[in-house]
Chains A and B, each alone.
Chain A
Amino acid sequence: MSETVPKPDELVQIDYRPPVRDWMHTPVQFRRGTFCYAAAPKNLKYLEMPNPRDWQPMDEDWKLPENWREIILEGMRERLEKFRSFRLFMDICVRCGACADKCHFYIGSGDPKNMPVLRAELLRSVYRRYFTLAGRLAPKLAGARDLTVDVLKEWFYYFYQCTECRRCSVFCPYGIDTAEVTMLARELLNLVGCNINWAIEPVANCFRTGNHLGVQPHGFKDSIEFAVDELEDLTGVRVEVPIMKKGAEVLFIMPSADYFASPHYYTLLGYLLLFHHVGLDYTVSAYASEGGNFGLFTSHEMIKRLNDKMYREARRLKVKYLIGGECGHMWRVIHQYMDTMNGPADFLEVPVSPVTGTRFEHAASTKMIHICEFTADLIRHGKLKLDPSRNDHWKVTFHDSCNPARAMGLLEEPRYILRNVARHFYEMPENTIREQTFCCGSGSGLGTDENLEMRLRGGLPRANAVKYVRDRFGVNLLTCICAIDKATLPPLLDYWVPGVEVAGVHELVGNALVMEGEKPRTTDLRGQPLASIQPPEVTHA
């Protein structure tokens, strides 16, 4: 934890009183720890994005193009015509404030501009000034204001202080979706080269190598082989992981963190055991080696540019359909964008589980199913041999990741799996789970260390709900199905609620799976001793 971050008891002294001064005339302060650094020019150049240059948000001069205002306004006009959502959300908000205390960043910071209504007003005030009659005639009365450099800086600060989690949208009487507003605002910022490196570098990596982390084909293969070796050590079973095997039934795509970061890695071990257990004919690809898509945090065009490789690789490998791993925003893209952008996937077949025969009609067009849907179906049909006592050392809770919850509705599948692979499962309070789940505070490309204070603030509501189940039920493991969660929740929980670890759902599946020909398991996939063998064999005495 960096030196500059205050202690929890200091950080939690949150002043919710709004400033006396009108928000339109309160310029933004770039305070260290609460914003992300600018995108490096090399990344922008590689992606052929506008205005690559050396700059940082705390600089006075942002080195904007001379006609930056025209570019932004033209960009707005274009998007108002392309997105009904944009025009509608600019027009119909009544500022009822129902969204205000639904935002994790507002709860954690008390900054009124983190109330979703005001975050969107930052953009709306400019929309009204240039695109509505009332705003042109009487800007003051209409709540309109000029687009100035200060306004642009404010946009940058607050639209990169929204994780596009959609929690506010659940409560909005008109369904105004701040994620949509933020996505479009970021597109506008991107037009004049105001973007953050933590989003753009993964995009550049992904475009080039196929994955956010920039892992190249040999690195990919090494990682997978390492996992296979490790699994053999742990279980005595040697699984086979075909890489880019043509004619396999299924192409499996996971977020790159699963094969390159911890604790994601244990989830990968879980997937591999599962596929081996049911004898799935599948393959993974070093080209389509990323499920995640930081294009979602950049622009619609970038989503499409990065996501292209999924169907492209599926076609090349002549698979029948795709299965996707545990990742939140990846599933927003797959579920709500992929088919529209990169489809139609008419060269694929409607997914059918080769083990149970279940036809996944709900994925009949996109031809991609979530690993949790696949696994839940297997369990339901009794196709998995499970020993849930192998997870007895964990008291488990489940964190709904924003996108599977609010852009998909994947709520019960992971819970069903967890109840079958673990024996101690506890829900967090109902206002913090399912469609009301709280973000980890680091989504949408904000999970970088220079932004740590803001991440800890934004993660407070989630961590606080975890604290509740830790204190009440002794929960020591938070499971989730999102790679960003797995990367950013461990430091968050260490800070707010020490003693709770983070794992993917399929890590617990892997622990519980009784593999054919396995050696007696003494540890879980992390190499930690199992609870059941901790008291030496006295039970049969």
Chain B
Amino acid sequence: MHVLPALITVLLLVAAGYAAGRIEALRFFFGAVVPLAAVAVFLGGIAWRVLRWAASPVPFRIPTTCGQQRSLPWLKHARLDNPATGWGVLGRMALEVLLFRSLFRNTKAELHAGPKLVYSEEKWLWLAALAFHWSFLIVFLRHLRFFMEPVPAFVLALQNLDGFFQIGAPVLYWSGVIILVALLYLLARRLWDPQIRYVSLFTDYFALMLLLGLVSSGLLMRYFTKVDIVAVKQLAVGLITLSPVVPAAVSPLVFVHLFLLSVLLAYFPFSKLVHMPGVFLSPTRNLANNNRARRHVNPWNYPVKVHTYEEWEEEFRDKIVAAGLPLDKE
């Protein structure tokens, strides 16, 4: 339902980027103004988003506990799945953010004749998600070679690692292959699984296709139709030193890549992609389950109408007396 509009939108963006790269009058605008504006929107947007979340208090301590609580000393406490201390929470969050712990639990429920419900391991989503996010990080860090001069050692080391097998020239980076495969899997899953397709919105397809466009244009430039990367780096360094230049040698394909990136950056804070900062703030994960040991304070805790003992005694006085139960007020 939403697939086609998303695809068309991304293709239009690609076309716009390419056209901008070919039209002299637009090159500076799309090569300098748009990316800088996008970065500003991204940074401002993320900060706004996070501050807005921070502005709402966490009135109650509501961790989802996924293991044994810390109670009696001789019972084995699940320190990471049900942390009781700040360190435990740190561990839980690290597992969550770095390894997608919760998604790793994923199962698939199937109803067989009998009836018999069968739950099987379902790790593909976890694997694809993890592969995508980690390769994205590596690809992002590798790109720092365009933005930083001299190129820092850790970027070179990362490149070496990523291109360890030295296949082809330029060397094949595994992160580039993995991110493409992972994205294609995530898209295919959305399209093929009837349930996931049913819940998918325009934005779900748009984000995936935008990323696919970004990745494909990058792979295209690296491995197929080569571009002048010295010119690309000049452009990149120009952007980041806030003295933008758009060398004539910068290919229109670079504009496609850059424009898709700009759209992604600007779209990021206003879409579901804010799950990146959001995951850190999730109160079911980032709070220790020490509820009964340490009081959590709700800043807007307000007095409510209650039925006090005195009112209760007054209301049921006859019955209390008849039952021979003690009264406070004779």
A and B touch in the complex (CB under 8 A): yes
The residues of A with any CB-CB pair to B shorter than 8 Å are 8, 12, 14, 16-18, 22-23, 48, 80-88, 91-98, 100-102, 107, 112, 115, 117-118, 121, 132-134, 140-143, 166, 169-177, 180, 207-210, 216-218, 220-222, 243-244, 246, 286-287, 300-301, 304-305, 308-309, 312-313, 316, 334-337, 339-341, 343-344, 358, 360-366, 368, 373, 376-377, 380, 405-413, 416, 429, 431-432, 434-436, 460-461, 464-465, 468
Given contacts A85-B62, A407-B62, A464-B115, contact A412 B323 (CB under 8 A): no
Complex contact A94–B275 (CB within 8 A): yes
Complex contact B71–A410 (CB within 8 A): yes
Task: Flag the segment in B23-31, B172-180, B210-218, B306-314 that touches A.
Answer: B306-314
Q: Say how far B304's CB is from chain A's closest CB, in angstroms.
A: 5
Interface of chain B residues 186 through 210 with chain A (CB within 8 A): 193-204, 206
Closest partner residue, chain A, to B110 (CB atom): A101
Q: Which residues of chain A are within 8 angstroms of B5 by Cβ–Cβ distance?
A: 141
Complex contact B109–A107 (CB within 8 A): yes
Given contacts A16-B195, A218-B319, A406-B64, contact A413 B71 (CB under 8 A): yes
Q: Say how far B274's CB is from chain A's closest CB, in angstroms.
A: 6
CA distance A362 to B65 in the complex (A): 15
Q: Which residues of chain A are within 8 angstroms of B316 by Cβ–Cβ distance?
A: 209, 216-217
Given contacts A171-B106, A340-B61, A464-B117, contact A373 B297 (CB under 8 A): no
Q: Which residues of chain B are within 8 angstroms of A112 by Cβ–Cβ distance?
A: 195, 198-199
Query: With an 8 A cutoff between CB atoms, is B107 at the interface?
Result: yes
Complex contact B306–A217 (CB within 8 A): no
Task: Flag the segment in B222-230, B252-260, B281-289 that touches A.
Answer: B281-289
Q: Say how far B64's CB is from chain A's closest CB, in angstroms.
A: 4
Complex contact B125–A98 (CB within 8 A): yes
Q: Say how far A416's CB is from chain B's closest CB, in angstroms.
A: 7
Complex contact B75–A413 (CB within 8 A): yes
Q: Say how far A281's CB is from chain B's closest CB, in angstroms.
A: 17
Complex contact B305–A48 (CB within 8 A): yes
Q: Which residues of chain A are within 8 angstroms of B291 by Cβ–Cβ distance?
A: 335-336, 339, 366, 408
Q: B199 is contacted by which of A97, A175, A207 (Cβ under 8 Å)?
A: A97
Complex contact B75–A313 (CB within 8 A): no
Complex contact B57–A82 (CB within 8 A): yes
Closest partner residue, chain B, to A9 (CB atom): B115
Q: A95 is contacted by which of B65, B204, B285, B323 (Cβ under 8 Å)?
A: B204
Please give the number of chain B residues whose Cβ is less than 8 angstroms from any Cβ of chain A in the complex: 102
Q: A82 is contacted by which of B56, B71, B306, B308 (Cβ under 8 Å)?
A: B56
CA distance A85 to B203 in the complex (A): 22
Complex contact A86–B195 (CB within 8 A): no
Q: Which residues of chain A are within 8 angstroms of B278 by Cβ–Cβ distance?
A: 88, 91-92, 174
Query: With an 8 A cutoff between CB atoms, is B44 at the interface?
Result: no
Q: Which residues of chain B are within 8 angstroms of A16 by Cβ–Cβ distance?
A: 111, 194-195
CA distance A410 to B301 in the complex (A): 27
Given contacts A174-B282, A408-B65, A431-B107, contact A305 B292 (CB under 8 A): no
Query: With an 8 A cutoff between CB atoms, is B82 at the interface?
Result: yes
Given contacts A244-B325, A337-B60, contact A92 B275 (CB under 8 A): yes
Complex contact B282–A81 (CB within 8 A): no
Q: Which residues of chain A are within 8 angstroms of B274 by Cβ–Cβ distance?
A: 91-92
Closest partner residue, chain B, to A461 (CB atom): B117
Given A98-B103, A313-B309, A407-B63, 14 new contacts (CB under 8 A)? A16-B111, A88-B283, A96-B196, A112-B199, A170-B102, A173-B103, A175-B64, A216-B316, A336-B61, A362-B70, A363-B292, A365-B292, A409-B69, A410-B71
CA distance A12 to B117 in the complex (A): 11
Q: Say how far B286's CB is from chain A's closest CB, in angstroms.
A: 8
CA distance A170 to B125 in the complex (A): 16
Complex contact B293–A362 (CB within 8 A): yes
Closest partner residue, chain A, to B281 (CB atom): A88
Interface of chain B residues 266 through 280 with chain A (CB within 8 A): 270-272, 274-275, 278-279
CA distance A360 to B319 in the complex (A): 37
User: Among the interface residues B78, B84, B100, which one has the most CB atoms of the partner chain A within 10 A?
Assistant: B78
Complex contact A92–B279 (CB within 8 A): yes
Count CB-based A-B contacts (< 8 Å). Answer: 316
Complex contact A23–B66 (CB within 8 A): no
Complex contact A416–B295 (CB within 8 A): no
Q: Say how far B165's CB is from chain A's closest CB, in angstroms.
A: 31
Q: Which residues of chain A are within 8 angstroms of B290 by Cβ–Cβ distance?
A: 362
Q: Which residues of chain B are within 8 angstroms of A365 by Cβ–Cβ distance?
A: 292-295
Closest partner residue, chain B, to A100 (CB atom): B195
Complex contact A84–B56 (CB within 8 A): yes
User: Among the interface residues B5, B63, B279, B292, which one has the most CB atoms of the partner chain A within 10 A?
Assistant: B292
Complex contact A429–B119 (CB within 8 A): yes
Task: Flag the segment in B11-19, B47-55, B145-153 that touches A.
Answer: B47-55
Q: Say how far B135's CB is from chain A's closest CB, in angstroms.
A: 17
CA distance A409 to B62 in the complex (A): 12
Given contacts A92-B274, A412-B75, contact A431 B119 (CB under 8 A): yes
Closest partner residue, chain B, to A121 (CB atom): B199
Complex contact A363–B307 (CB within 8 A): no
Q: Which residues of chain B are within 8 angstroms of A22 by Cβ–Cβ distance?
A: 1
Complex contact A336–B60 (CB within 8 A): yes
Given contacts A112-B195, A175-B102, contact A84 B67 (CB under 8 A): no
CA distance A172 to B126 in the complex (A): 11
Q: Which residues of chain B are within 8 angstroms of A171 by Cβ–Cβ distance?
A: 102-103, 105-107
Q: A409 is contacted by which of B55, B116, B289 (Cβ under 8 Å)?
A: B289
CA distance A244 to B103 in the complex (A): 49
Complex contact B320–A305 (CB within 8 A): no
Q: Say how far A442's CB is from chain B's closest CB, in angstroms.
A: 18
Closest partner residue, chain B, to A462 (CB atom): B117
Query: With an 8 A cutoff between CB atoms, is B326 at the interface?
Result: yes
Closest partner residue, chain A, to B282 (CB atom): A175
Complex contact A411–B68 (CB within 8 A): yes
Complex contact B72–A358 (CB within 8 A): yes
Query: With an 8 A cutoff between CB atoms, is B59 at the interface?
Result: yes
Q: B72 is contacted by which of A17, A84, A413 (Cβ under 8 Å)?
A: A413
CA distance A243 to B324 in the complex (A): 10
User: Among the interface residues B69, B129, B313, which one has the most CB atoms of the partner chain A within 10 A?
Assistant: B69
Closest partner residue, chain B, to A14 (CB atom): B111
CA distance A82 to B272 in the complex (A): 21
Complex contact A169–B284 (CB within 8 A): yes
Complex contact A340–B295 (CB within 8 A): yes
Q: Which residues of chain A are within 8 angstroms of B56 by Cβ–Cβ distance?
A: 80-84, 86-87
Closest partner residue, chain A, to B197 (CB atom): A18
Interface of chain B residues 72 through 104 with chain A (CB within 8 A): 72, 74-76, 78, 81-82, 84, 96, 100, 102-103
User: Among the interface residues B119, B193, B294, B322, which one has the most CB atoms of the partner chain A within 10 A?
Assistant: B119
Given contacts A175-B282, A435-B66, contact A101 B109 (CB under 8 A): yes
Query: With an 8 A cutoff between CB atoms, is B298 at the interface?
Result: yes
Closest partner residue, chain A, to B203 (CB atom): A143
CA distance A364 to B65 in the complex (A): 19
Q: A305 is contacted by which of B74, B111, B279, B305 (Cβ under 8 Å)?
A: B305
Complex contact B320–A217 (CB within 8 A): yes
Closest partner residue, chain A, to B97 (CB atom): A173
Complex contact A18–B194 (CB within 8 A): yes
Complex contact B64–A177 (CB within 8 A): yes
Q: Which 9 A-B pairs have the closest CB atoms?
A: A409-B69, A92-B278, A409-B65, A143-B201, A175-B284, A431-B119, A366-B292, A218-B323, A18-B198
Given contacts A14-B111, A243-B325, A340-B296, contact A85 B304 (CB under 8 A): no
Q: A88 is contacted by which of B70, B200, B282, B307 (Cβ under 8 Å)?
A: B282
